[in-house]
Structure 1
Amino acid sequence: MKKTFLAGCLLAAGLAAQAQHEPYVKEKDPLVLQKLEQWQDWKFGLMMHWGTYSQWGIVESWSLCPEDEGWTQRKPAGIPYYEYVQKYEALPNTFNPVKFDPAKWAAAAKKAGMQYMVFTTKHHDGFNMFDTKQSDYKITAPNVPFSKDPRADVTKHVFDAFRKEGIHIGAYFSKPDWHTDSYWWRYFPPKDRNPSYEIAKYPERWKQFAQFTYNQIEELMTGYGAVDILWLDGGWVRPMAMQTAESRSWSKTPVQDQDINMPAIAAMARKHQPGLIVVDRSVHGPYENYRTPEQQIPDKPLDYPWETCMTMAGSWSYVPNDQYKSVNTIVHHLVDIVAKGGNYLLNIGPGPDGTWHDEAYRKLDSIGQWMQTNGEAIYATRSVAPYKDGKVCFTQKKDGSVYAIYLLDEGETLPAVIRFSGIRPAKGAKAQLLGEKKTLSWKAAGDGVEITIPSTVARKGWKHAVAIRLR
């Protein structure tokens, strides 16, 4: 993941539009299909980007990448590259998140109505937030102050805490690893995000990297309890036959055959975790069980499983004094995404001491209050045409119940009449505002529907959005 800037945003939007036309390969494993159906019921999840980079309050990993992009800039500006790398790779020596409290995170996520989570076990910089046996660049290494803490294997403690709250577990794992010598071989300087050497010329080194990746994923699949999602990032790591115009746009150097043998990895992972959802994101093929538009919401429903991953604040990773989205914006995003048939994965970046910004807790608490009343219109729903009409979004339960969700502007009072077209309740159907016991009166009006809101109801101080059940 990376920070989003305007130019990057425009490029991403264009590439995403192109990606939507790539054929979706439907999973055949019945256990995976069953889990994927369940995942589509969960709707709302938490993502966390956390690593040694949080100490500097910078974008995760990307400042190591020698590409001249907005999200790869080093701080302070002008520092020589290798001097910067040396300082960056010394960050574990001071990483000591003594206020780490995953139970508090999990309780807040549960209260907010989140039903699954995805945690960064390793980002592109190669620093492992779990007790891997494949590398010494890890949070449990002796040089890391926090390694002396009984909670040092933070991935284990995060997974255990969220699982205890009944929240489903996802493991983010970066396929590229800019620390290991079998990806960025230090004999050659890296020129971009890709391997620093020619794979065809040094095939044994690449085999070492593929085995290293396999071994690390197997550790996560065998030593950390039940895992529901393997969320793989770094889509430029893919076989030559699967390279596309989208993936080639990421390369400053000639495209290489970065085949890590995903069939073997997926088979191994599912042997240990039957029904595991595998998200080889942006690699459009059999191991991309759902797609992940980043920091954007599609214009219309998609005909395959998908999830918008988006930051709660401005950055994926911790930034001091970051600016957080309003609860109104977050709720509107959730409703819009769900009405279009997707899931919403909302990211929070823990700080260097292991805590979240207080603002993150406040946002989750307010979201949870809204979900307590309106979650019925969110969970276990699917998209229903026309999905949206003006300020009203629609969702549908499997039993046929339809929900019309009116999006309230900041400070807006619920109007006396809510109008929409495209959905026509059956004759005699009841309209009920979630959170109210009495039914509402409604009537057909031209090609639309008008629902009357009594003034006593409208004045109750509704926030963000209201959901009306029609059945």
Structure 2
Amino acid sequence: MARINGLIRRVAVVSVSALALMGSGAAAQSNVPDYEAKVETKLNEIQAGIASGPFKSDWDSLREGYRTPDWFRDAKFGIFIHWGVYSVPAFANEWYSRNMYVPGNPAYEHHLKTYGPQSKFGYKDFIPMFKAEKFDPSAWVKLFTDAGAKYVIPVAEHCDGFAMYDSDLTVWDAADMGPKRDVVGEIAKAARAKGMHFGLSSHRAEHSWWYYMGRTYDSDVNDPKYAGLYGPAHRTGLPADAPTNWPDSGQLQNWMPPSKAFLNDWSARTTELIDKYSPELIYFDWWTSAPVYEPMMRDTAAYYYNRSKARNEQGIIAYKGSQFAEGSALFDMERGKTDALKLTPWQSDTSVSVHSWGYAQNDTYRTAPSLIADLIDIVSKNGNLLLNVGPKADGTIPAEITTVLKGMGQWLKVNGEAIYGTRPFKYFGEGSTKSGQVRVGGQVEESAVKGFGPDDIRFTTKGDNLYAMGLDRPKDGAVLIKTLYAGNPYLDAPIKSIELLDGGKITWQQTPTGLKISLPPAGDGAFPYALRIRTN
């Protein structure tokens, strides 16, 4: 009988609270004065913005008018920032906000053991602990510029529903709670003061279903007082091109599209970010590839591109699904790369930390040499590297990340001419390392890419210079670049001179089997090397 009564209480909690929360998107924001009017104003602004500029809300217009600007093509290297309330528990990864409500998930068990039941201590209760007392955006930007990065993209709102900017459409934001600072605005100001380009990322589309599992038992997700944070918490399905290893993918197959109110809220918040912060790049997460978002993707792109055009800029939208027509925006590959040279610019994003995008205790970290090798590989194929960092809850960047960024910066100060402002060579490179399993669109999963070997060479060009970069410096210094054999069709004239950018002395000989080069010997953990090659 006790078990039956418990089940009845559970069903009652879920059904009553779900009806209260899911019936109206506006109800979830009832604590914002004039919320409905503010959303309606933004929706009207979108249509007026589309009508006022050259970009229209159709794929032909967007494809015809969009061009990736030269600043992005020259920059090559940017910094991504995942920072939010999830950095307080700092357990496993930035999906803690969802996973803590999923029975059987390690985060769920960790939460029960550490903080108590989700009905008594929910995700909302981490917000007062998210004080960011050591957050110094100028210090962050100095580290990023010292690392050689040319642009920065903080996550303005992750899937957890807590905005990291000063929003007029919710009080669940960093300006009103937690740090009580406009984090995105402060980063934008500091970055622009140092000449960095500024963009932002929105993951809000996932929020419609993010907390659904908290509906299935007694948790604070079912309390209407917190609807502004936990949102609709709908049961929903995955977009067709979402990764198969997403958490709870088996529980999310029954498609239930977001309500019209939620979609309107998404459009209004996205427009708010565009208008308040004038980002040069916006990065949308996976869920906007769901079919219901297609008209909004066209409207958002047209509005944003027209707003950018009015400032004599070309805005960039980065996407990683199939929600944009090819040529209308910038394709991004999350924790992956292309296996070939792409004719159009693209971007790869990965993280210094291996297991999480946000800060997590006991994570492991990449090395500077391995990330430089990735950067070279990506740039040789006409791409940019967006490298993520996950700061701690107090606003400090972990020492492991700082060390990696400084190491990358030291290499780029010496070898940056082979990276910045370059364009692809006629052939991206050579080598025996195989890319691994290729996904749709030519994307190679990062986990499938093994470490590079001494025969893996990549090329870039700038002006009259050809750059050849070895991704793994051989210990004995012996290099053979097969592509540049004597009489090869890739060079318009014979090689005149070759210099090692780090200043070491080399000898070289162009033979019928390849370009033979002798480098100074290198020890373990050596960085990739870069050669400047000039022809007559």
Cα deviation per residue 1:389-445 (whole Å; 9 max; x = unaligned)?
353423222424211112335xx6461x4211112453252111113297x543222
Alignment map for 1:363-402 (pairs within 5 Å):
363-384=404-425, 385-389=427-431, 391-402=455-466
Residue 238 of structure 1 contacts residue 260 of structure 1 at CA under 8 Å; is this kept in 2? no
Return the structure number with greater helix share. 2
Question: What CA distance in whole angstroms lies between the structure 2 residues aligned with 1:268 and 1:128?
Answer: 22
- CA shift at 1:61, angstroms? 3.6
Residue 480 of structure 2 contacts residue 515 of structure 2 at CA under 8 Å; is this kept in 1? yes
Is structure 2 residue 86 aligned with structure 1 residue 53? yes
Question: What CA distance in whole angstroms lies between the structure 2 residues aligned with 1:25 and 1:446?
Answer: 49
Question: What CA distance in whole angstroms lies between the structure 1 residues aligned with 2:422 and 2:189?
Answer: 28
Shifted more, 388-397 versus 377-386: the winner is: 388-397
- CA shift at 1:77, angstroms? 6.7
Question: What CA distance in whole angstroms lies between the structure 2 residues aligned with 1:25 and 1:65?
Answer: 40
SS across alignment from 1:293: strand
Which residue matches 1:467? 530
Is structure 2 residue 421 aligned with structure 1 residue 421? no
Alignment map for 1:200-279 (pairs within 5 Å):
206-224=259-277, 226-235=278-287, 237-239=289-291, 257-259=292-294, 261-274=296-309, 275-279=314-318
Please, which of 394, 406, 409 is the counterpart of residue 470 of structure 2? 406
Question: What CA distance in whole angstroms lies between the structure 1 residues aligned with 2:120 and 2:457?
Answer: 48
* TM-score of the two chains, using structure 2 as the length reference: 0.68
How many residues were matched structurally?
409
Q: Name the amino acid aligned to 1:165.
A: K
Which residue matches 2:511? 445
For structure 1, the residue ranges without an aligned partner over 5 or more in a row are 1-23, 200-204, 240-256
Alignment map for 1:71-470 (pairs within 5 Å):
73-76=107-110, 83=118, 87-141=122-176, 144-147=177-180, 152-174=181-203, 175-177=205-207, 178=210, 184-185=231-232, 198-199=256-257, 206-224=259-277, 226-235=278-287, 237-239=289-291, 257-259=292-294, 261-274=296-309, 275-286=314-325, 289-314=329-354, 315-384=356-425, 385-389=427-431, 391-408=455-472, 413=475, 415=477, 417-424=478-485, 426-436=493-503, 440-453=506-519, 458=521, 463-470=526-533
SS across alignment from 1:310: strand
Q: Name the amino acid aligned to 2:317.
A: V
SS across alignment from 2:318: strand
- CA shift at 1:370, angstroms? 0.5
Cα deviation per residue 1:226-253 (whole Å; 9 max; x = unaligned)?
42101011335532xxxxxxxxxxxxxx
Residue 507 of structure 2 contacts residue 517 of structure 2 at CA under 8 Å; is this kept in 1? yes
Residue 79 of structure 2 contacts residue 386 of structure 2 at CA under 8 Å; is this kept in 1? yes
Residue 160 of structure 2 contacts residue 229 of structure 2 at CA under 8 Å; is this kept in 1? no
Distance 1:29 1:116, change over 3 A: farther
Residue 64 of structure 1 contacts residue 125 of structure 1 at CA under 8 Å; is this kept in 2? yes
- CA shift at 1:316, angstroms? 0.4
Cα deviation per residue 1:310-359 (whole Å; 9 max; x = unaligned)?
11012101012322111221111112222222211111101110111012
Distance 1:470 1:95, change over 3 A: same
Residue 495 of structure 2 contacts residue 533 of structure 2 at CA under 8 Å; is this kept in 1? no
Shifted more, 97-106 versus 425-434: the winner is: 425-434
Question: What CA distance in whole angstroms lies between the structure 1 residues aligned with 2:385 and 2:197?
Answer: 14
Distance 1:223 1:73, change over 3 A: same
- CA shift at 1:460, angstroms? 11
SS across alignment from 1:291: strand
Provide the aligned C-alpha RMSD in A: 3.5
Q: Name the amino acid aligned to 1:235.
A: W
Question: What CA distance in whole angstroms lies between the structure 1 residues aligned with 2:103 and 2:508?
Answer: 54
Cα deviation per residue 1:228-285 (whole Å; 9 max; x = unaligned)?
101011335532xxxxxxxxxxxxxxxxx34561222122222322311012321253
Shifted more, 83-92 versus 320-329: the winner is: 83-92
* TM-score of the two chains, using structure 1 as the length reference: 0.77
SS across alignment from 1:429: strand
Which residue matches 2:221? none
Distance 1:71 1:451, change over 3 A: farther
- CA shift at 1:206, angstroms? 2.6
Question: What CA distance in whole angstroms lies between the structure 2 residues aligned with 1:466 and 1:165?
Answer: 29
- CA shift at 1:66, angstroms? 9.3
Distance 1:388 1:94, change over 3 A: same
Question: What CA distance in whole angstroms lies between the structure 2 residues aligned with 1:428 and 1:197?
Answer: 60
Percent identical pairs in the alignment equals: 25
Question: What CA distance in whole angstroms lies between the structure 1 residues aligned with 2:513 and 2:102?
Answer: 54
Question: What CA distance in whole angstroms lies between the structure 2 residues aligned with 1:228 and 1:433?
Answer: 35
SS across alignment from 1:451: strand
Cα deviation per residue 1:154-202 (whole Å; 9 max; x = unaligned)?
100011111222111111011232476799536x667878799944xxx
- CA shift at 1:95, angstroms? 1.6
Distance 1:145 1:308, change over 3 A: closer
Considering only CA atoms, is the larger Rg found in Structure 1 or Structure 2? 2
Cα deviation per residue 1:26-69 (whole Å; 9 max; x = unaligned)?
95455x4151x431221111111011010000322455169979
Question: What CA distance in whole angstroms lies between the structure 1 residues aligned with 2:64 and 2:85?
Answer: 38
Residue 387 of structure 1 contacts residue 393 of structure 1 at CA under 8 Å; is this kept in 2? yes
